[in-house]
Structure 1
Amino acid sequence: MAEGFKKVSAVRGMNDLLPDLSYQWEALEEVLHRWLHLYGYKNMRIPILEHTRLFTRGIGEVTDIVEKEMYTFTDSLNGDSLTLRPEFTAGIVRSVIENNLLYDRPQRVYSIGPVFRHERPQRGRYRQFHQLDVEGLGFAGPDIDAEMILMTARLWKMLGLTDVSLELNSLGQLSERQAHRAALITHLEKHRDVLDEDGQRRLYSNPLRVLDTKNPAMQEMADAAPKLFDFLGDESRAHFETLCGHLDAAGIAYKLNPRMVRGLDYYNLTVFEWVTDKLGAQATICGGGRYDDLIGLLGGKPAPAIGFAIGLERLLDLWLQSQEVSAPAQCDVYVVHQGEAAGRFALQLGEELRDAGLNVLVHAGSGSFKVQMRRADFYQAPIAVILGDSEMTSQQAGVKVLRRDGQAVQGEQLDVAFDQLTNYLKDATAQTEE
Structure 2
Amino acid sequence: MSKTPSIQAIKGMNDILPPTSARWQWLEDQVRCVMGSFAYRNARTPIMEQVQLYTRGLGEVTDIVEKEMYSFQDRQDKHGDADHLALRPEGTAGLVRAVAEHNLLYDGGKRLFYMGPMFRRERPQRGRYRQFHQIGAEALGFGGPEADAEMILLAVALWRALGIKNWRLELNSLGQPDERRAHREALIAYFEQHQEQLDEDARRRLHSNPLRILDTKNPAMQALVDGAPKLLDYLGAASQQHFAAVQAMLRASGVEWRINPRLVRGLDYYNLTVFEFITDSLGAQGTICGGGRYDYLVEQIGGKPAPAVGWAMGVERVLELLQEEGMAVPEPVPDAYAVIPDAAALPAVMPCLQALRAAGVAVQMHASSGQADAGMGSMKSQLKRADASGARFALIFGAQELAEGQITVKALRDGAGQQSRQPLADAAAWAATLKSPDSAQ
After TM superposition, the score normalised by the length of structure 1 is 0.94
Alignment match, 1:200: 203
Identity between Structure 1 and Structure 2 (%): 51
Distance 2:211 2:342 in 1: 74
1:396 aligns with 2:396: no
Structure 1: gaps (5+ residues): none
- 1:56-71 to structure 2, matched below 5 A, reads 56-71=55-70
**Aligned residues of 1:288 and 1:309 also touching (Cα < 8 A):** yes
Alignment partner of 1:414 is 2:413: no
C-alpha distance in structure 1 between counterparts of 2:329 and 2:218, whole Å: 41
Mapping of residues 368-407 of structure 1, within 5 Å: 368-404=378-414
Q: Is 1:125 the equivalent of 2:135?
A: no
Deviations 1:61-109 (A, max 9, x none): 1111011101112222542211110000110010001100011110000
**Contact 1:208 1:262 (C-alpha < 8 Å) held by counterparts:** no
Q: Which amino acid aligns with 1:427?
A: T
- 1:213-232 alignment, distance < 5 Å: 213-232=216-235
Mapping of residues 296-315 of structure 1, within 5 Å: 296-315=299-318
Q: CA deviation at 1:333?
A: 1.6
Cα 1:287–1:391 shift into 2, 3 Å: same
| Count of matched residue pairs | 428
What secondary structure sits across from 2:171 in the alignment?
A: strand
Deviation at 1:263, TM superposition (A): 6.1
Match of 2:373 in 1: none
Secondary structure at 2:386's aligned position in 1? helix
**Whole-Å separation in 2 of the counterparts to 1:302 and 1:6:** 54
TM-aligned CA distance change 1:90 to 1:428, over 3 Å = closer
1:388 deviates by 2.7
3-state SS of paired residue (1:204): coil
* CA–CA separation in structure 2 for the residues paired with 1:258 and 1:430: 51
The answer to which of 84-93 and 156-165 deviates more is: 156-165
CA contact (8 A) 1:383 1:429 kept: no
For 2:25, the equivalent position in structure 1 comes to 26
Letter in structure 2 aligned against 1:259 = R
Letter in 2 for 1:56: T
Query: What stretches of structure 2 of length at least 5 have no aligned partner?
Result: 369-375
Deviates more, 1:38-47 or 1:243-252: 243-252
Tell me how far 1:329 sits from its aligned partner.
4.5
1:304 and 1:316 mapped to 2: Cα distance? 32
Match of residue 272 from structure 1: 275
Measured in 1, the distance between the counterparts of 2:422 and 2:344 equals 18
Amino acid at match of 1:229: L
Q: Which residue of 2 aligns with 1:85?
A: 88
The letter of the residue matching 2:385 is R
Shift in CA distance, 429/160, structure 1 to aligned 2, threshold 3 Å = closer
Shift of 1:323: 3.9
Contact 2:58 2:269 survives alignment (8 Å): no
Residues in 2 aligned to 1:290 and 1:239: alpha-carbon distance in whole angstroms: 11
Once residues 264 and 431 of structure 1 are traced to their aligned partners in structure 2, the CA distance between those partners, rounded to angstroms, is 47
Which amino acid in 2 is paired with 1:12? Answer: K
Measured in 2, the distance between the counterparts of 1:271 and 1:114 equals: 23
Q: Tell me the distance in 2 between the aligned counterparts of 1:169 and 1:296.
A: 24
How far apart in 2 are the matches of 1:100 and 1:374? 58
CA, structure 1 residues 421+103, in 2 after alignment: closer, same or farther (shift >3 Å)?
closer
| Closer, same or farther: CA 329–117 of 1 in aligned 2, 3 Å | closer
Q: 2:206 aligns to what SS in structure 1? A: helix
Change (3 A) 1:384 1:212: same
Asked if 2 retains the 8 angstrom alpha-carbon contact of 1:84 and 1:116, the reply is: yes
Supply the RMSD in Å over aligned alpha carbons: 1.8
Cα distance in 2 for residues equivalent to 1:277 and 1:264: 23
Mark the CA change 1:382 to 1:329 in structure 2 (over 3 Å): closer, same or farther. farther
Matched to 1:84, the amino acid is: L
Deviations 1:171-219 (A, max 9, x none): 1110111111111101010111000010111111110011111111111
* C-alpha displacement of 1:342: 1.4
Paired residues for 1:314-329 under 5 Å: 314-329=317-332
Cα drift, residue 161 of structure 1: 1.9
How far the C-alpha of 1:427 sits from its partner, in A, is 2.0
Q: Quick one: which amino acid aligns to residue 416 of structure 1?
A: Q
| TM-score normalised over the length of structure 2 | 0.93
Could you tell me which residue of structure 1 aligns to residue 142 of structure 2? 139
Cα deviations by residue, 1:40-60 (Å, 9 ceiling, x for unpaired): 100000001111111111111
With over 3 angstroms needed to count, the CA separation of the structure-2 counterparts of 1:149 and 1:337, relative to structure 1, is same
Contact 2:148 2:309 survives alignment (8 Å): yes
Q: Per the alignment, in what secondary structure is the counterpart of residue 287 of structure 2? A: strand
For 2:18 and 2:42, how far apart are their aligned partners in 1? 25
Judging changes above 3 Å, is the alpha-carbon distance between structure 1 residues 263 and 65 closer, same or farther for their aligned structure 2 residues? closer
Find the aligned partners of 2:144 and 2:5 in 1 and give their Cα distance: 58
- The answer to which of 92-101 and 376-385 deviates more is 376-385
Q: CA deviation at 1:3?
A: 4.9
- How far off its partner does 1:422 sit? 3.8
Which deviations, in whole Å up to 9, do the C-alpha atoms of 1:246-266 show, x marking residues without a partner?
122222111111111136553
Q: Is the 8 A contact 1:341 1:392 kept in 2?
A: no
Cα shift readout 1:148-185 (whole Å, capped 9, x = no counterpart): 11221222222222221111111111011111111110
Partner of 1:115: 118
- Say whether the 8 Å CA contact 1:337–1:343 is kept in structure 2: yes
Q: Is the aligned partner of 1:38 residue 2:41?
A: no
Runs of 4 or more above 3 Å deviation: 2-5, 262-266, 326-329, 419-422, 428-433
Deviation at 1:425, TM superposition (A): 3.9
